[in-house]
Amino acid sequence: MRKLSKIVFGAFLVLTLSLVCFSFNVRADTASGNVTIQNTAPTMGTVTLLNQAAADEAITLSAGGTVVVTASATVTDVNGGASVSSASGTLYHSTSTSGGADDENIHITNSSCVLGTPSGNDILATCSFTMNFMALGGTWTANLTAVDDSSAQVSGTDDNTVNDLAGLDVVEATIDFGSLELGANSSTGADMTVRSQGNVQIDAQYSGNNYTCTVGTIDVGNTNYGLTDVSYDELTTALTADPTTQTAFDLGVRGVATANGANSDENEYLGIKIPTSGVSGTCTNTLTVTAIADA
């Protein structure tokens, strides 16, 4: 009987210990990985807006073309650099704002800037902007925004200067006056289209040399030009060897003088008078058209 009670007591003890151990195991299981770390918004270091040559100097545009400028900044997130999920940027003229609409003269948006490889809590955000020849001169501001996984964001800005650019091209490569008799003049002006390729209003300077004919020469002054399509005699300005500025030319900037995307053009009309004698065959000369910023 005494032996039986010892066995029952032993079994009770083993069962009790098993239950205690089981209970500890269960408790340990429910406590693991249940900590929530609160998000901290990222911060941004100094933003640097570099020019087309990746230098911290004024931006110089390219006639009839584009240049690419970059703005970059180091973004720090104490939750880890990898938690920065995206970056975007705007580049805008002093006459616009960061939230303004895109415009080829004053506002550019880059909605997907490049994020570098995270290094600890830091990550480099770089925004590239393509500036066209018609982007206005003056102060431009780059505004960079970085967003983390929890949609917390940070922004920073930097300014730079865009230089004035005077530029043009002439749509036609040559002017053809056709076939004329001795002593005759071209009854209507030949059309030449001058196109703005810069970011300032320009005047045009005209000069030329004498026509060299198969036989003889025609004086450069026998060519008249003007801004209206009229007869030779009504084109009152004679072409000269030295450049003459046509101050009434006033060719405006694309996007400012025209709608966004539409070329800004000005027509020039030219006529010629053939001498009464001394020339025959074909005649050619060089006509030089020069852009100069409107004074």
Partner 1 sequence: MNKKIIFVVGILAIFLAGFACQVSAYAIGASPATLSFSIPRGGYEEKTFQVSTNSETPLEFSLVISNSINTTISVETKDKTAVSGKPAEITVRAYASRSAKPANLDGVITALLKPSGEARSGSGSIISTGVAVRIKVEITDESAPLFQNKMLLISMSLIGVIIVLGGIYLFKFARLRVRGKAGKSLKPKKARKKRKTGKIRR
- In the complex, minimum distance from the CB of residue 134 to partner 1, in angstroms, rounded to a whole number: 11
Q: 133, 61 in Cβ contact below 8 A?
A: yes
User: In this chain, which stretch among 16-24, 119-127, 148-156, 191-199 interacts with partner 1, using CB under 8 A?
Assistant: 191-199
For partner 1, give the closer residue by CB, 95 or 288: 288
Minimum distance from residue 276 beta carbon to partner 1 (Å) = 19
Distance CA 250, CA 171 (A): 18
Q: Which is nearer to partner 1, 57 or 229 (CB)?
A: 57
Q: Tell me the site size for partner 1, rule CB under 8 A.
A: 46
Considering the complex, what minimum distance in angstroms separates the CB of residue 90 from partner 1? 23
Of residues 176 and 181, the one with the C-beta less far from partner 1 = 176
Q: Which is nearer to partner 1, 30 or 282 (CB)?
A: 282
Show contacts with partner 1 in window 5-64 (CB under 8 A).
60-64
Which range of residues in 4-12, 99-107, 119-127, 164-172 is near partner 1 by CB under 8 A?
A: 164-172
Please, which residue, 90 or 197, has the CB nearer to partner 1? 197
Q: Using CA atoms, how far apart are residues 97 and 112, in angstroms rounded to an integer?
A: 19
User: Cα(147)–Cα(75) distance, rounded to whole angstroms?
Assistant: 10
What would the two tokens of residue 208 be?
């030329």
Nearer to partner 1, 100 or 243 (CB): 243
Residue 193 DSSP SS3: strand
Concatenated DSSP letters of 202-266 = EEEEEEE-PEEEEESEE-GGGEEEESS---GGG--EEP-SS-EEEEEEEEPPTTTTS-TT---EE
AA identity, residue 72: S
User: How far is the C-alpha of 225 from the C-alpha of 268, rounded, in Å?
Assistant: 7
Which DSSP string corresponds to 106-147?
TEEEESSPEE---BTTEEEEEEEEEEETTSPSEEEEEEEEEE
Other Cβ atoms less than 10 A from the Cβ of 10: the count is 10
- Residue 252 engages partner 1 in binding (rule: CB under 8 A): no
Looking at residue 23, its amino acid is S
- Indicate which single residue of 80, 116, 243, 275 sits in contact with partner 1 (rule: CB under 8 A): 243
Tokens in use for 225?
A: 């030009």
Nearer to partner 1 (CB atom), residue 92 or residue 211: 211
134 binds partner 1 (CB under 8 A): no
**Residue 248, burial from CB neighbour count under 10 angstroms (0-12, 13-18, 19+):** exposed
- 290 touching partner 1, by CB under 8 A: yes
Least spacing, CB of residue 217 vs partner 1, in Å: 14
Q: How far is the CB of 158 from partner 1 (least distance, A)?
A: 21
Q: Which of 167, 189, 255, 271 binds partner 1 (CB under 8 A)?
A: 167
> Which positions touch partner 1 (CB under 8 A)?
60-65, 133, 163-177, 179, 192, 195, 197-198, 200, 205, 208, 223, 243, 270, 282-293, 295
